[in-house]
Structure formats: structure tokens, C-alpha cells
Structure 1
Amino acid sequence: MRVIIKDNYDLLCEWVAFYILKRIEAFKPTKDNPFVIGLPTGSSPLGVYRKLIEYYKNGRLSFVNVVTFNMDEYVNLPKEHPESYHYFMWNNFFNHINIPPENVNMLDGCAKDLVEECDRYEAKIKKVGGIELFLGGVGVGGHLAFNEAGSSLSSRTRIKTLCKETIISNSRFFENDELSVPTTALTVGLGTIMDANEVLVIISGFHKALALKKCLEGNINNTWTITVLQQHQNSIIVCDKPSTKELKVKTVEYFSNLQKTTNIFGQPNHNYLSRFINSNDRIVVFSPHPDDDVIGLGGTLQKLDKSKVLIVYMTDGSAAFDKKEYSYNPRKQEAILALKVLGYKKSNIQFLDLPFYRNNKIVTETDYSMMSKFLESNDPHHIFVCADSDPNKTHLKCYEIIRRSELNDSLKYVWLYNSAWGDWNDKVNCISYLDEACFNRKILAIMMHDSQDPPVVFYDDNQPFYDQIVEKNRSILNPGFYEEQFRVIIKDEFKSRVVDFE
């Protein structure tokens, strides 16, 4: 069982919706081989449905080859009734996406023969090849769908009499009138749910905390039917922090730590920093301009041992600020302030001021000599090199100066990073994940470069770098996190790596 803990309900919904998006993408459904998903009603999935609708409207997700089966429906409540689950699903989800009506399957609580309706539902699920992903919520009493306490752990779709607690809980949807709440319902069984290839359950809020505790720390039993998920080979619990309040601290820490080392599919992230960097390694970060370091790796800089890091600005950026606004070059001071935000001191900073920058950007032997001497005297084990190209090709010049210089013998790895101008696509072999607090400090550091807000001196985009970087760093496989991507190579590969920036 995987357990994903998010800070709040909104982040929980973002994670779940993105997971569904990626699962459908990976499945590559067709008309003859659709993606079959089980769906719940109630308040728990509403945020997920809103996000999925957003994906559809943005052109990121199509439901044309998706088939759905809902979990349950009240008995003798007409489809048109505003509290029927049929009405709920069409009003909150199906009417807003491009799913063909014939692909939607819901139990008919008004069928003449309810037993036959349940059997028909099971047969239809079997006919389409079973359910690929069953999305569910959980009741306060720990029940899945309407499989309340006492339900058989191998039960199938059937008629179920609702307990008093469920009727009281659901009366909030019926103007708090318990007498208006149906007393029976049709529901998929626990066996039906367990037959799915994967089950994902949403648990949110303080009032669900005991149900989560029973699910993760309790024994399998039919009093808390959610505990049956302990026996499913591919089950995921996605919860928010309020719902973890009954869990042991060790339980929360265990699953939280697992999140840090796996991606959205639960696959290990073998590309974390410690895979490459030892505790005593010396690190040099080369920044072409005085802001490329914080734009490209402002989050990663916070993770490194600052006593082992030297940030080197290869130019002073004097060609890239508005001379009408500033009578002096503000960029060195901005760089110092930005790194102070990230916890660095002046002793961590060196301005190399390579001569090519003031020589019409013509690189000479002097530039190579300065770089070779610098590498020899500092003898780093790792160097971070900016590998994207800015509009004026300064990044390219800096990259080539480092590449063609004499690299020191102790150098283990060259870390190629992008500033504001490039993306790695599929060439990444190391990702540094940033939580919200870490990323916010990075944004604040970028904001310290006031002369670049907005960076209109040499190109037409008025969007500040700190705005651009939000989408650029938003994690693809870990929703709610941000990431900085690197291509880590050995020095021989770097020496032969001629990059075409055109």
C-alpha cells in the first residue's frame, strides 16, 4: 500500500487528478481498449473532478475512450432528484467533459428488479475487461461505497440497508432531514472493488482521521471495511495532514520519507543529489550572469553544504541593466543579497569578471587561462555549468570557456543546468525536488535582482523571471512539489560535448 500525504485538500486533489491524467496517458486507451475507471460521489472527489475538467478544457485530457462505473446509488430516488448520484455525477463532472454518454455506467436505484440490476452491473464490468483504476472516498465509519460495518470482505454489487450513522451523516444533503434520506442503496461490493487492477482512496479532514488510522495501523476486519485495502496489491491512500492526526508519529514519518524518494508512480528516484555528491566534496557553481545561479538552481543551492560551495560569477552583467534607471552597476550587490536569502555569505562568492565580456564578447586565450588557473587553485570535485543560451549568447561563451579550459584532475562530475532559457526534456538524469518553502525562498532570491524586473533590456517578454520560473519548475511527476533538473556527466563527456545553441 502506498500512502501519499499532502498538506491540504487542494493539494490532495491536484495530486489525484494528475495521477489519473498520467495513468490514462500511459494506458493509451482506444475505442476497443478503453480505460475503465470506477468513480465515487460525495464531497471527497469534487476537487478532483474540477481539476480533471480543467485538464479537459486545456486540451490535456480526453475522455472519449474512457469508460466509467460509479460506486453506488440510492434506491427509489429518481435520477432527476438533485441528491441522486446520477444527478451528482452529470452535474459535477460528466456534463463538463467529452465522455460519450454510452460510456457512463451507473446503477439504477429505480429498476424494477434490483437484484437483476446488480447482476447486470457486475456482468457489464466483466464484459469490458474489469476496472483498471477504482477511485473512492471513505465514510467517517471507515466504509468504502456503502459497504458499511458487517459487510463481507468478498461481497459483490448488491442491495444494502444503510445504518443509522450513514443516514445521519447524509442528512446534510437532504436539508438535515433524516426522514428524507433513503434507507437502502445499491452498491458495488468490496470484492468488486478489490478486483480492480488498482484502487485509490481519498481521505480528507479531521473527521476521517480515525478511519485512516484503522486503515493503516489496524487489523483487517469487516467493521472498518477500508482495512480490506491492506490485501490489495496496488492500493493508494491519498490523504491530507488533518486526516493524519490519529496516526502514530512514526507512521507519518515513514510514509512521508517514502514520498521523498519516489515519483508519482511509486518508482524510486535514483537521481537524488547524494547519488553523486559526497559530504566532503568541493563544489563550484558557475553563473554566466549574476542571476543565473538562483534562477537555475536556487533551490538546490539551499540543499548543499554551504561550507563546501563557491558561487562564481563569470561576468558582472554590466551589459544587461537599464542605464537610464541606474547610474551604477547594481548587479553585484543584487547577487550578494540574493545569495544571502539562500543562506550564503560573501565568502561563498567570487566575481571572476572574464575579460571577453568587455571585449565585444570575443573570447581570447586570456579567458581560457584565467579559467584554467581558477580550476587548478580551487580544485573542485563538482562544477555546475549553465547549458542554455540567452538571447545574447553570453551563456554559450561561458560554457565554451569552461569546456575548452584545462579541467582539474579532481573533477568528478559536471552538472549542466538551465537558467531561464532552456528545458532538458528527456535528457535529465538528476532531479532536485523542492517543497513549497524551499521554492518560495528561491523566488525571493530571484526578486533580489531588481534590475531584471522585468527583464526588458534585450528581449520583448515583459514577464519577470520569478514568474516564468513557477511553471518551469513545477514538478511533472510530483504534484505539489517543484523541481530543478540537471544533466550530470563526467568531464571527458563534457570536453567532447559541443552544444549547438542556435
Structure 2
Amino acid sequence: MELIVLDTAEAIASRAADAIEALLASKPNAILGTATGSSPLPLYDELTRRYEAGRISFAQVEGFMLDEYVGLPEGHPERYATFMERNLRSRVDMRPGSLHGPDALSEDLQAACDAYEAAMAAAGYCDLQILGIGADGHIGFNEPGGPLDSTTHIDELTEQTRRDNARFFDGDIDAVPTRCITQGLGTIMKARKLVLIATGENKAEAVAHLVEGEIDPRWPATVMQNHPDALVLVDPAAASLLRQRH
């Protein structure tokens, strides 16, 4: 695992975009794993700038989202399919329909999980997976205590996660769904490169466990210590509890 501490969210976005630009230069039809939330937004802005400058193209890229809420109707502004359409797909030359997510509107959610895992397997899983991290150490929506080798599954969102995400729902925790479909930790680990972005003091404990702690299901992101190519990009606030500034 490589840890880089950078002063600003913009510098982090630039370094993450460098990794994606290098991937697309060598493999224009790469499989890209996308993340939602506030952490990757500067990255999507930077990727859009590089596309507009003619540096990168997403014309041959296929994408797979990490997760999706269960219970939000199609077109809801906080549905992750809507988020990714708004913040990346529609801003670059990614083909309509080339960014995939689990079918959280299905009447058979387990079948939707199985189908999404099968689609990723058929694509060869992700070449590069973008990740954020929750204050409790979750990646995707893999909440603390779950198996470290899980595949795509239905998960119950913890109160901590719902409280953290209430800011996207006008501060109303009751508006935040209680369930989701998420790539499992085992699925995420099949990506050939992981790029995790964390900013802010509220991520410091999770980052300390991720980088310096033991591999522990109570801190799901720690499974990344077993990955052969994981890049962790953090700002000084998120790095503030590290014993050593690597």
C-alpha cells in the first residue's frame, strides 16, 4: 500500500486523475470502478477538465458503480446512478449505458446482486477502482463486521453511515435509505488497482486503522493491506492520527 499525503483536495484529485490518465493511455477500453459521496467529486471535476483539454477519452470505457441505495425511485437526485450520471458520465464522452450499477429497483434483490457480480466477472472486474472511506472504515457499503471475502450483496446501513449521509438528504436521517446493494470486499479486491481518497479530520481514525492497524472486519477497509497495488491519497487532516507520516 502506498500512502501519499497532499495538502489540498485539488492536489489529491490531480494525483488520482494521473493514475486514471495513465491507465487510459495504456488501455483505452479500461474497466473503471466508480465511487460516490463527496470525496471523489474533485476527481470527477479534474477528469472532466482533462477530457475537455483533449488529454483523455472515456469513449471505450466501461464503468461499474460500487453500490446503490435500495428504496429510492429511478431519477431520485441522491440515487447513485443519478449521481454518477450528473457528476461524470454526462460530462465526458462515456457512452450512454456504459456505466453500470446494481439493479436496486428489482423485486428480487438477491438475483440483482448475483447478476451484477456476474456482469463484473464477465468484464474481468475493474482495472482501477476509485474508493472513499467512511468514518467507521467502510468501503463501498461494506459495514463493519462483515466477511472480508464477500461478493456483491444486500447490506443494512448502520446509524453512523446514515447520519453521515444525511447531509445529502437535507440533514434528515429518516430520508436516508436503510438498505443498499454493494460490491463486496472480495469483489473490490479483484480490481487490479485501488485508489482511495480521504479528506477531513472525521476520516482520521479510519485512515489510521487502514494504514497502521491490523486487518480487522470491524474496520473493513483494512482488507486493502492485502492488495498488491493500492494507492491511498489523504490530506493532512485525514492523516492526523497516523503515528508515522509515511
TM class by shorter chain equals over 0.9
> In the alignment, which of 81, 88, 93 is matched to residue 93 of structure 1?
88
Question: What is the CA distance between 1:180 and its match in structure 2?
Answer: 0.9
Tell me how far apart the structure 2 counterparts of residues 227 and 147 of structure 1 sit (CA, whole Å).
12
Q: Residues 73-131 of structure 1, C-alpha deviation per residue, up to 9 Å, x if partnerless?
A: 00021121111111111111111111112321111211121111111111111111221
TM-score (ref. length: structure 2) = 0.98
1:26 matched to 2:21? The reply is no
Counterpart for residue 362 of structure 1: none
Tell me how far apart the structure 1 counterparts of residues 192 and 64 of structure 2 sit (CA, whole Å).
14
Counterpart for residue 144 of structure 1: 139
Tell me how far apart the structure 2 counterparts of residues 5 and 167 of structure 1 sit (CA, whole Å).
28
Counterpart for residue 180 of structure 1: 175
1:116 matched to 2:126? The reply is no
> In the alignment, which of 55, 70, 73 is matched to residue 68 of structure 2?
73
* 1:233 alignment partner, SS class: coil
Tell me how far apart the structure 1 counterparts of residues 110 and 144 of structure 2 sit (CA, whole Å).
21
Unaligned runs of 5+ in 2: none
Counterpart for residue 45 of structure 2: 50
Q: Is the 8 A contact 1:72 1:186 kept in 2?
A: yes
Unaligned runs of 5+ in 1: 256-502
Question: Where does 1:218-367 land on structure 2 (aligned, <5 Å)?
Answer: 218-248=213-243, 251-252=244-245, 255=246
Q: Residues 411-433 of structure 1, C-alpha deviation per residue, up to 9 Å, x if partnerless?
A: xxxxxxxxxxxxxxxxxxxxxxx
Q: Residues 288-337 of structure 1, C-alpha deviation per residue, up to 9 Å, x if partnerless?
A: xxxxxxxxxxxxxxxxxxxxxxxxxxxxxxxxxxxxxxxxxxxxxxxxxx
Tell me how far apart the structure 2 counterparts of residues 102 and 10 of structure 1 sit (CA, whole Å).
29
Tell me how far apart the structure 1 counterparts of residues 3 and 164 of structure 2 sit (CA, whole Å).
26
> In the alignment, which of 207, 216, 241 is matched to residue 211 of structure 2?
216
Q: Is the 8 A contact 2:144 2:218 kept in 1?
A: yes
Question: What is the CA distance between 1:17 and its match in structure 2?
Answer: 1.1
* 1:182 alignment partner, SS class: coil
Question: What is the CA distance between 1:199 and its match in structure 2?
Answer: 1.0
Question: Which residue identity is paired with 1:238?
Answer: L
> In the alignment, which of 98, 106, 116 is matched to residue 103 of structure 1?
98
Question: Which residue identity is paired with 1:10?
Answer: E
> In the alignment, which of 126, 131, 134 is matched to residue 121 of structure 2?
126
Tell me how far apart the structure 1 counterparts of residues 238 and 163 of structure 2 sit (CA, whole Å).
21
Counterpart for residue 79 of structure 2: 84
* 1:201 alignment partner, SS class: strand
Question: What is the CA distance between 1:203 and its match in structure 2?
Answer: 1.1
* 2:5 alignment partner, SS class: strand
Q: Is the 8 A contact 2:24 2:57 kept in 1?
A: no
Tell me how far apart the structure 1 counterparts of residues 114 and 7 of structure 2 sit (CA, whole Å).
41
Q: Is the 8 A contact 1:133 1:197 kept in 2?
A: yes
Counterpart for residue 17 of structure 2: 17
Tell me how far apart the structure 2 counterparts of residues 5 and 210 of structure 1 sit (CA, whole Å).
15
* 1:134 alignment partner, SS class: strand
* 2:118 alignment partner, SS class: helix
* 1:73 alignment partner, SS class: strand
Tell me how far apart the structure 1 counterparts of residues 125 and 12 of structure 2 sit (CA, whole Å).
26
Counterpart for residue 187 of structure 2: 192
Question: Which residue identity is paired with 1:83?
Answer: E
Question: What is the CA distance between 1:8 and its match in structure 2?
Answer: 1.5
> In the alignment, which of 147, 150, 153 is matched to residue 158 of structure 1?
153
* 1:74 alignment partner, SS class: strand
Q: Residues 344-387 of structure 1, C-alpha deviation per residue, up to 9 Å, x if partnerless?
A: xxxxxxxxxxxxxxxxxxxxxxxxxxxxxxxxxxxxxxxxxxxx
Larger Rg belongs to: 1
Tell me how far apart the structure 2 counterparts of residues 229 and 2 of structure 1 sit (CA, whole Å).
11
Runs of 4+ aligned structure 1 residues displaced above 2 Å come to none
Question: What is the CA distance between 1:44 and its match in structure 2?
Answer: 0.3
1:169 matched to 2:159? The reply is no
Tell me how far apart the structure 2 counterparts of residues 14 and 165 of structure 1 sit (CA, whole Å).
30
TM-score (ref. length: structure 1) = 0.48
Question: What is the CA distance between 1:236 and its match in structure 2?
Answer: 1.0
Question: Which residue identity is paired with 1:203?
Answer: A
Tell me how far apart the structure 1 counterparts of residues 74 and 92 of structure 2 sit (CA, whole Å).
20
* Count of paired positions: 246
* 1:17 alignment partner, SS class: helix
Question: Which residue identity is paired with 2:17?
Answer: A
Question: What is the CA distance between 1:68 and its match in structure 2?
Answer: 0.4
Question: Which residue identity is paired with 1:36?
Answer: I
The CA RMSD measured in Å over matched residues stands at 0.9
1:64 matched to 2:53? The reply is no
